[in-house]
Amino acid sequence: MIAKNYMKDYIEFSDAFRKSKGSHESVGRLYDLLHELKEKNDRTKQEDLILSNVYSLLGFHKSAYDLFETIADKNNRKDSSKLFVMKEKAESHHDNFIIKDIRKSRQRNEQAKLEMADFKVSENTNNTFTIKKKKIVIFNKFVKNNDVKICLPDNQIGKYGYEITAHLNWLAGCEHELTAFYNNTDFEDKADKNWYDTLEVYRINITIDPFGNIYSYIVCGDDFWSDHILDVEINNREIESMTYDG
């Protein structure tokens, strides 16, 4: 059996990635190569280097550094210099600002059915609740580390269960509202389905005031400004602001 030439594939795929400025098709091919190499149990040193390079191209800077550190020649000036640069990137970015595989991002995620027992009182703040056991979907993405906080006018969570659930269900799939608002801002880029599908949601805070209004503050990231945080503020079901931070 003829061994597969991963270097040939890497050169072809990475060249297409750079020339197309990261087209979704070229990203998909890099992900296919990444998964194939990750699943290979007997990788050579060259194949580890290729995998590290693919990690870097896709924004997995910590994974790229961790792998390259195992194969780098510390006595080689070129390897040492590369390690230094990769370490700085790994410490500042980790694996938080990756280029997403849009094929996976387009899968529809269903919102979990919530019960009162799923809301847990926060230990640090009065009238504040978290959801820990069930994954919450916002913008069709699971919230990273399930970082969901709900602030109420009082501690009677049962009074607000329906409103909270209905609001979360709306937030799970508000693609049209989100893209339309983005495109009415002064941002140069134009949001579309690809933009929405590749959003990443890191944190959401929901606040209900004494009059029943629901305010949402959502921290996420997109592919337009992959090294910035995108903050979204929503009043009931009206998006009020989007700003980049970073």
* Residue 225 exposed, middle or buried by CB count within 10 Å (0-12, 13-18, 19+): middle
pTM: 0.70
pLDDT of residue 1: 57
* Residue 26 exposed, middle or buried by CB count within 10 Å (0-12, 13-18, 19+): buried
Q: Which amino acid is at 4?
A: K
Ranges assigned E (strand) in the chain: 119-121, 128-131, 137-138, 141-142, 148-151, 200-208, 214-221, 229-235, 238-245
pLDDT of residue 98: 86
Please give the chain's pLDDT, 246 residues, in tens: 567 899 999 999 999 999 999 998 999 999 999 999 999 999 999 999 999 999 999 999 999 999 999 999 989 999 999 999 999 999 999 998 888 888 887 889 999 999 999 999 988 788 999 998 899 999 999 998 889 999 999 999 999 999 999 999 999 999 999 999 999 999 999 999 999 998 999 999 999 999 999 999 999 999 888 889 999 999 999 999 999 997
pLDDT of residue 2: 66
pLDDT of residue 144: 87
Reduced to 3 states (helix: H, G, I; strand: E, B; else coil), residue 95 is coil
- pLDDT, tens only, 25-69: 999 999 999 999 999 999 999 999 999 999 999 999 999 999 999
pLDDT of residue 226: 80
- Classify residue 43 by its DSSP letter: -
Phi-psi region of 37 (alpha: psi -120 to 50; beta: other; left: phi over 0): alpha
